[in-house]
A and B are shown apart, each in its own frame.
Chain A
């Protein structure tokens, strides 16, 4: 069963005109903002496929920037987000790409400020549903619909079991999990989606696990 809830059918509440090109685009922008965890100084937004062809008419541009300003799909400030971003001091650069992506609705978002940068690739698969497919060139598959955390760690034995043990101790069920690394023994990433809200004390415990370097809370 692809769809499970009545609100997948009657919903989401959103700013028009397209559930995939507007609501989905806003959601990808907002996930990028959540991952960056602060207002970026500069955002470079690269559009591919159908996003590249029709982004102006669909408001894909203002939707993504709205997401970067932490607006939800139904926020009425979305149509004016370009102006609001400028007022907030965020520089926006759009780049329309010719490369044919795996999915027709693909966007790459690069965020920058003095403290760091972040690269997120997302796809909008229909009806407002999205997937994050890449984070800082790590491949992943994240829906953004369930509470999730990303754990950056050193690629050493025992880290994964230590982290999952903490979830077990707190009786939190893991619905989806994936691990990836760029190179053996170097930086690695765990993506963990769970069924219920992850409390701060759980995150604090995970932070203390040896070889864990960073935790990013995705969705509450």
Chain B
């Protein structure tokens, strides 16, 4: 079993296989299921992600009315040809938003690694798919690579907003996605680790401060920026840029930052954006409480 990113990269390089393959082999060992069963299970998760994006791009509205429809706005804007940051990047952003809008509307999603951060991994996958034309199996491998990096974060830091703030949720998701994009684009295992490190470094300290305690504001837009962060970091790593701080040390820093974060900023809706005048007003409107 790999315990950190360094061991994961070393295993993949020694065996000369993708990081996805290391994760699949470990899953076979841990669960006793066959390779076919494990692949089929991830294939089903991929189908759920596809359906969520498809639904979100048609436009949905959440139960509270706080979120919905932004994925459609962005897709329409892309069609004008005036987008400054490029359509592949905005496609990733809009598909991440689409997934989280479906989540807020009580639709079916696949947690990656949580429901609140479920947009980043599929959003980036379905955007780079348009350029790299992967096979179905390569798309499934993308998810196993994400799982491998997320596995390291979950066991060495946290993937829970209540424990480590949003850096643990959208931060982890963005790092996972960046590494997977690199591998799908033909980068090496160490380039994937560099992309993960670069992404996480720019998510450190991100607080979890949901308005009214709901997984909507700012979660949907945090997924948008998480997808954007992942795409940029993947390009940087593919260009040969390295992180001065090794990936495992970034993860350790993330863990320690999470531990020193006050509880008001860890999914209690007591601080940050939740405690702004508008945040409090929205909360009162939704739950009918006195301000």
Interface of A with B (CB < 8 Å)?
A: 1-20, 22-23, 50, 53-54, 56-59, 74, 76, 78-79, 104, 126-128
Contacts and interface: CB of A to CB of B under 8 A. Distances in A.
Interface stretch (B102-110, B182-190, B196-204, B238-246): B102-110
Interface stretch (B39-47, B77-85, B228-236, B250-258): B39-47
Given A7-B41, A17-B216, A2 B155 contact: yes
B213 A78 contact: no
Pick from A6, A12, A59 the residue with the most CB of B within 10 Å.
A6
A13 B146 CA distance: 16
Given A6-B23, A16-B103, 13 more contacts: A5-B31, A10-B146, A12-B110, A14-B109, A15-B106, A17-B115, A17-B116, A17-B216, A22-B115, A50-B213, A53-B213, A54-B287, A58-B214
A213 to B, nearest CB: 34
Contacts of B261: none
A127 B48 CA distance: 17
A18 B117 CA distance: 10
Pick from B115, B121, B268 the residue with the most CB of A within 10 Å.
B115
A23 B113 CA distance: 13
B151 A3 contact: yes
Contacts of A1: 1, 3, 155
A78 to B, nearest CB: 7
B27 interface: yes
Interface of B: 1, 3, 23-24, 26-27, 30-31, 38, 41-42, 44-45, 48, 62-64, 102-116, 118, 121, 143-144, 146-148, 150-151, 154-155, 159-160, 162-163, 176, 212-216, 268-269, 286-287
Contact of A57 (B107, B143, B287): B287
18 contacts: A3-B154, A6-B38, A6-B147, A6-B148, A7-B147, A10-B110, A10-B146, A10-B147, A14-B115, A17-B115, A18-B116, A50-B213, A58-B215, A59-B106, A74-B48, A74-B108, A126-B114, A127-B160
A18 B114 CA distance: 8
A12 B111 contact: yes
Contacts of B212: 54, 57
Instruction: Give the top 9 A-B pairs by smallest Cβ distance, nearest first.
Output: A16-B103, A6-B147, A9-B150, A54-B213, A17-B215, A126-B160, A19-B115, A3-B154, A9-B147
Main SS class of interface, A: mixed
A11 B212 CA distance: 25
B162 A13 contact: no
B44 A13 contact: yes
B111 to A, nearest CB: 5
B150 to A, nearest CB: 4
Nearest to A75: B108
A56 B213 CA distance: 11
Contacts of B144: 6, 10
A76 B213 CA distance: 23
A9 B287 CA distance: 32
Given A19-B114, A127-B159, A13 B48 contact: yes
A8 B62 CA distance: 26
Contact of B286 (A2, A57, A74): A57
Contact of A8 (B154, B268, B286): B154
Nearest to B212: A57
Given A57-B213, A58-B214, A2 B111 contact: no
Contacts of B146: 9-10
B104 A17 contact: yes
B49 to A, nearest CB: 9
Contacts of B116: 17-19
Given A6-B42, A12-B111, A57-B286, A17 B154 contact: no
A22 B162 CA distance: 15
Contacts of B176: 9
Nearest to A22: B115
Nearest to A74: B108
Nearest to A9: B150
B155 A3 contact: yes
Contact of B150 (A10, A59, A76): A10
A16 B45 contact: no
A76 B159 contact: no
Contacts of A126: 114, 160, 162-163
A78 B106 contact: yes
